[in-house]
Amino acid sequence: MKTRRILPLALALILIVGMLAACGADPADIGPTATPGALPTPPVVTPPPIIEDTPTDSVLLELGLDENLRFLETRKITVAVFDRGNDGGSPPDDNVFSNWIKEQVLETHNIEIEWVRIGRWTGTDDYSRLFAANAVPDIGYEYDFEIFMRAFSEMGGILDMYPYLSEYSNIFPHLFDFLGTEFIYWNMDPETNAVYAFPGKVMEVSPVGTFMREDWLDILGLDEPRTIQEFEDCLVAFKDNAELLLGENADRMVPYMMSHDVRWQYRPLLDGYLPSGLSERDIYVNGSLEQLLTHPANKETIRTLNKWYNMGLMWYDFGLYTNETLGSIVDDRIRQGHVGAYNGNIDAPYRGGENSHQAKLQEFVGPDAAYIAISPFPNDSGEVSRLISQAVDRFIFFPSTNTEPIASLLYIDFITRREVREYLQIGEEGINHILHDNGAVEKLPATGEWIQNSPDNIDYTITINVSNAAPSLGDPLREGLSRALAFPGTDSAYVARTFAVNQDPATLRAMPNFSLGTIEAESGIIVDLNTKRNNMFVNAIVAAPADFDAVYDAGMQDLMASGLRAAVDERIARWELYYGDAEFISE
Amino acid sequence: MSSGVLTKRQQNRLDKGVSGTSKWTLVKRYWVLYVMLILPMAYFVIFRYLPMEYLAMAFKENNIIKPLWEVPWVGLKNFERAFGDRDFWNALRNTFMLNILDIGFGFPAPIILAIILNELVFKRFKRVTQTIAYMPHFLSWVIIYGLAMRLFAPTDGLVNILMNRAGYESISFFDKPNNWVATYVFLGIWQSVGWNTIIYLAAITNINPELYEAAAVDGAGRLRRIWHITLPGIKPTIVVLLILTMGGLIGGGFERPWVLRNPMVYDVATVLPVYVYTKGLLNYQFSLTTAVGMFQSVVGLFFVLGANFFARKVGERGLW
């Protein structure tokens, strides 16, 4: 099959149809179990109602605001902004967009803002230093709630936003309209009602994708694999036909590429081993570490990888390249055309323009070489069911040194306005994007002062994270059309296929938000446990098959003894306290 | 000049000057030197001694936000937590093991290299060799790791590719614990040996050349001269450096083990500085981190004192 030759118009239509199917519902709205529906509402957390009435004059006066929510006297706040230090980028605190925000916020709310740079890749270290100096910006954001936010809230360093959010919700209409109470009270403590942070919304949560060489399947006359066994058969066929497929480079054949980051890349395979009747209790009780580590399906998944490794289907060196400076070696092997299958983001082969995996592959191997998205890991019921993470993004918090919580929330309300975030995402027409007649937005690689330091300026639009190359325009059709233009140089059929395969709502199951409060036993140990888990996975995979059980079990015992047992026990106790012996809590 | 040629009066004046019955006179005479001393002293006071106040964190609740004096005391809880953690003992064992191997193989290496360099007759060759030997000192461990992986990786490393072509099996330089330890020590020596020769070469140049000439006249060969003149001549330097090295026996750097480790060798590669970072800093357990750091410092101090005591016992001058 040579899908590249299909008419571009037809492919764009496929893409749009796929997009409409996939994006019709917010991932947060993809329900648990087999019945996609509303986000589960745990009975233990009852968010306060949103105040619909217009704020009274006395309330406004008390807060120092006029009827247009503009402060009578200028307020000053400091706001964090990620500094990515990207080549050719502009100063994140002094560029067209940051200055536009400053002007607009001053004009709209009479709030003067000062940016504080936080290293994108050193954020938690930077915040630690700023916390120690009581100099954290009034509005901070960071991805890591469970470890970072929790540690500093326990130290008394983070402000409880609940009183302001619950009492003045009618002052922040855009924020409540966009995030809703589900997100704003996402981490509300069920006992104290404290809200130390709330997350931004990820507009599209995707599972990890699986990709396979389409041209190799064609050469060997193989069908696209649809089961774990068929997937293995394909890998074996690639290995056995290495000379045919790679010629003099046959010894560099890697049928299935995986890096040391097993816990993420094995996710599609794990979905195949998780039982179809996986209960919400199972998800909660096994949820101390990512991927439900304590669930038995993990061991079977790693056992399969151990088998493949010992069959020579995986890269012998995969566990060694942990240093980020050498991480590109894995990508390079994929680009060079030595890899039969791999896992990655759902657009992994196609993102990156002329440097994408696919573009480089075709440059090195030829125009027929291509990776296609596949879905070969059904569960015990024969259906593909993919447990995807919650649609939460960075967590926004105020340090306890923040003396302007209302001004800070008004800033967030401003940045959440539809027109504001859309402008920041797509920038200036003719400079940052082209607006097509059909409404599609084609992003342009702006340079100089108009450059966007982060994709779609997500470092400023902190309540929203668009993903997978399409700006959030509030219209699935426009978003689909825009996405079709977002992978220059890649046949859109491949892009359409990966979104159709990986965003099929019938196969996606979103993790519920249980909101049962913090687990004391997990305090201060999660990073350590994650490291132990990662090491255990690699060591179990490279073990001789006869040693697999011993290596895996020893690793799990170490994890359990290092605090995981206590965490699981506390989760079981907490579940029983709130839900008794119920297995499911969703409607 | 030996004191034997001085008169008793001259000797008394000299002693008086040195022993300083009139210290104020000395201060007045050398005041410029004392002024110059202010800056380094200020550095040590501000950056080394004043921060020691925060050692109290080791005995306090984990909190870097409140002022130190407002954080409640918890006694030895942080030490108990560290000592009750088997990962701590594992890291301590690894730290000892790797540092002892570093000392065992890495400490003599620059001495040997310095002696070899000193014996080279062709000065230009000596200088070129010295320069090449110094170079790795200026490379970061990330770069060294990258080079090492390119050379020693199991399937893609140049050494193993050549070995395979010669009909030999690949050697797992990085993914088997014992091999990793050997590679770790080897890379450490390679990186530091040239730089560490500097101090020994300087010590060698202080040896009176007449001693070598006299020994040569007496028929001593090259090895005899090294054994009886060079080594005794640099022995005080060796002893002082050894004592200082002992202070880092359970310390050591963070970058080298952090960069070189991989999931297959964590059991031997996690040393105390890495433990402090992963268990303490990444989990925001600052009091635990301080407790472990304090433990390292105190034990290191005992090692230095012990080594110094031993050196003085066997007739060496030691540090003081």
Confidence of residue A3 (pLDDT cuts 50, 70, 90): very low
Q: What is the pLDDT of residue A126?
A: 93
Cα gap A432→A428, rounded to integer Å: 5
Nearest to B66 among A156, A525, A535 (CB): A156
Chain A, nearest residue to B285 by Cα:
A524
In the numeric block, the tokens 């149809």 are attached to A17
Residue scoring higher pLDDT (A51 or B63): B63
**Cα B19–chain centre separation:** 34
Q: What is the pLDDT of residue B320?
A: 74
Rg for chain B, CA atoms, rounded? 25
List of chain A residues whose C-beta atoms are within 8 Å of the C-beta of residue B285: 524
Cα(A71)–Cα(A88) distance, integer angstroms? 37
Q: Is the pLDDT of residue A51 over 90?
A: no
CB contact under 8 A, B146 and A134: no
> A116 forms bridges with which residues in the sheet?
A80
Mutate to test the interface with A, among B282, B287, B289 (most CBs of A within 10 A): B282
User: Measured between CB atoms, does B87 come within 8 Å of chain A?
Assistant: yes
Query: For residue A323, which residues of chain B lie inside 8 Å, CB to CB?
Result: 142, 145-146, 259
pLDDT at B2: 43
Nearest-by-Cβ selection for A524 from B63, B174, B285: B285
Q: Which residues of B touch A528 (CB under 8 A)?
A: 87, 278-279, 282-283
Q: How far is B147 from chain A (nearest CA, A)?
A: 10
Which pLDDT does position B110 carry in this prediction? Answer: 95
Inter-chain CB proximity B65 and A526 less than 8 Å: no
Sign of CA dihedral B213, B217, B221, B225: negative
CB-closest option in B145, B175, B278 to A319: B175
Chain A residues within 8 A of B261 when measuring between CB atoms: 322
| Radius of gyration of chain A from its Cα atoms, rounded to whole angstroms | 25
Chain B: closest CA distance from residue A296 (Å) = 22
The predicted complex's ipTM stands at 0.81
Q: Sort out which chain A residues have CB atoms less than 8 A from B278's CB and list them.
A: 527-528, 531
Rounded Cα–Cα distance for residues B262 and B268 (Å): 10
In this complex, the residue of A147, A325, A542 whose CB is nearest that of residue B146 is: A325
Give the model's pLDDT for residue B59: 97
Show residues of chain B in contact with A320, CB under 8 Å. 149, 153-154, 174-175, 262, 264
Shortest Cα distance, chain B CAs vs residue A131, angstroms? 6
Closest-CA distance of chain B to residue A125, Å: 9
Render pLDDT for A25-41 as a digit per residue (tens, 0 to 9).
343 333 333 333 333 44
Other Cβ atoms closer than 10 A to A548:
20
pLDDT tens across B272-292, in order? 999 999 888 888 999 999 999
Q: What is the mean pLDDT of residues A133-158?
A: 91
pTM: 0.84
Closest CA to B200 of B251, B237, B164, B154: B237
- Gap from A520 CA to chain B (nearest CA, Å): 14
B165 inside 8 A of chain A by CB: no
Average pLDDT over residues B148-156: 90
Using pLDDT thresholds of 50, 70 and 90, give the confidence band for residue A353: confident
Q: What is the mean pLDDT of residues B85-105?
A: 94
Average pLDDT over residues B88-93: 94
Residue from B64, B78, B180 whose CB has the most chain A CBs within 10 Å, to mutate: B64
CB pairs under 8 A between A and B: 90
Nearest to A531 among B62, B145, B278 (CB): B278
The set of long-range contacts for A331-338, using a CB threshold of 8 Å and a minimum separation of 24, is A331/A357, A333/A252, A333/A254, A333/A257, A334/A257, A334/A361, A335/A360, A335/A361, A335/A364, A336/A252, A336/A360, A336/A361, A336/A364, A337/A246, A337/A361, A337/A364, A337/A365, A337/A369, A338/A246, A338/A249, A338/A252, A338/A253, A338/A254
**Best to test chain B binding among A155, A302, A525, A559 (most B CBs inside 10 Å):** A155
CA closest to A135 among chain B residues: B65
For residue A8, pLDDT over 60 is answered with no
Q: How confident is the model at residue B16, as a pLDDT?
A: 56
- Does residue B4 carry a pLDDT above 50? no
Classify residue A57 by burial, with Cβ atoms within 10 Å: 0-12, 13-18, 19+: exposed
Q: Which residues of A touch B174 (CB under 8 A)?
A: 320
- In angstroms, rounded to a whole number, what is the distance separating the alpha carbons of residues A430 and A426? 10
- Does B174 touch chain A if contact means CB atoms closer than 8 Å? yes
Residue A496 banded pLDDT, cuts 50, 70, 90: confident
Nearest CA in chain B to A530: B278
Q: Check if B65 contacts A (Cβ < 8 Å).
A: yes
What is residue A369's three-state secondary structure? coil
Residues of chain B positioned with their CB less than 8 A from the CB of A148: 284
| Complete DSSP assignment for A449-509 | GG--SSGGGTTT-TTEE--TT----S-HHHHHHHHHTSSTTS-HHHHHHHHHHH--GGGEE
Over range A352-378, report the average pLDDT: 94
Could you tell me what percent of chain A has a pLDDT over 70?
90
Please give the average per-residue pLDDT across A327-334, as a whole number: 85
DSSP string, A66-97: -TTS-BSS-EEEEEEEEE---TT---TTSSHH
Q: Is B87 in Cβ contact with A562 (below 8 Å)? A: yes
In which band, very low, low, confident or very high, does the pLDDT at A19 lie, cut at 50, 70 and 90? very low
Q: List the structure tokens of A275.
A: 């039982």
Mean pLDDT of chain B: 89
pLDDT of residue A34: 32
Q: What is the pLDDT of residue A208?
A: 95
The first and second tokens of residue A574, run together, are: 């907490």
Q: Using the beta-carbon criterion (under 8 Å), do B263 and A315 form an inter-chain contact? A: no
Q: What span, in angstroms and rounded, lies between the C-alpha atoms of A170 and A165?
A: 9
**Neighboring chain B residues of A131 at a CB cutoff of 8 Å:** 64-65
CB contact under 8 A, A156 and B63: yes
Q: Where are the domains of chain B?
A: 1-59, 66-313
Q: What percent of chain B has pLDDT over 90?
A: 65
pLDDT at A66 over 80: yes
Of residues A145, A152, A93, the one with CA closest to residue A128: A152
Say yes or no for a CB contact (<8 Å) between A315 and B284.
no
Tokens of B64: 């870097």
Q: Name residues whose C-beta falls within 8 Å of residue A367's C-beta, 6 or more positions apart in sequence.
A: A4
* pLDDT of A10 higher than 60: no
Residues of B in contact with A537 (CB under 8 A): 263
- Is the pLDDT score of A324 beyond 70? no
CB contact under 8 A, B284 and A322: no
Kindly determine whether residue A542 and residue B156, on different chains, have CB atoms separated by under 8 Å: no
Residue B64: closest C-alpha in chain A: A132
For A425-440, the pLDDT digits (tens) are 989 999 988 888 888 8
B289 — contact with chain A (CB < 8 Å)?
no
Split at pLDDT 50, 70, 90, the class of A481 is confident
Give the class (CATH, top level) of B66-313: mainly alpha
A415 versus A487: the higher-pLDDT residue is A415
Q: Which of A205, A223, A201 is nearest to A214 (CA)?
A: A223
* Residues of chain B contacting residue A539, judged by C-beta atoms under 8 Å apart: 263-264
**Is A259 a residue whose pLDDT tops 70?**
yes
How far off is chain B from A161, nearest CA to CA, in Å? 19
Flag if B266 and A320 touch (Cβ within 8 Å).
no
The residue among A586 and A1 whose pLDDT is bigger is A586
Residue-level pLDDT at A390:
86
Enumerate chain A positions whose Cβ falls within 8 A of a Cβ in B.
128, 131-132, 134, 147-148, 151-152, 155-157, 260, 315-317, 319-323, 325-326, 329, 400, 524-528, 531, 534-535, 537-539, 542, 561-562
Measured between its terminal Cα atoms, the distance across chain A in Å is 44
For the residues A327-354, what does the mean pLDDT come to?
Answer: 90
Find the closest chain A residue to B154 by CA distance. Answer: A317
Tens of pLDDT, residue by residue over B299-317, are: 989 988 988 888 888 777 7
Instruction: Give the residue from A323, A397, A536 with the most B CB atoms within 10 Å of its CB, the best one to mutate.
Output: A323
Q: What does the pLDDT look like over A542-560, one tens digit per residue?
A: 999 999 999 999 999 999 9
Kindly state whether B237 is in contact with chain A, defined as any CB-CB distance less than 8 angstroms.
no
Residue B282 in contact with partner chain A when CB distance is under 8 A? yes
**pLDDT of the residue at A326:** 61
Question: So what's the pLDDT on residue A542?
Answer: 96
Partner residue opposite A325 with nearest CB, options B63, B142, B284: B142
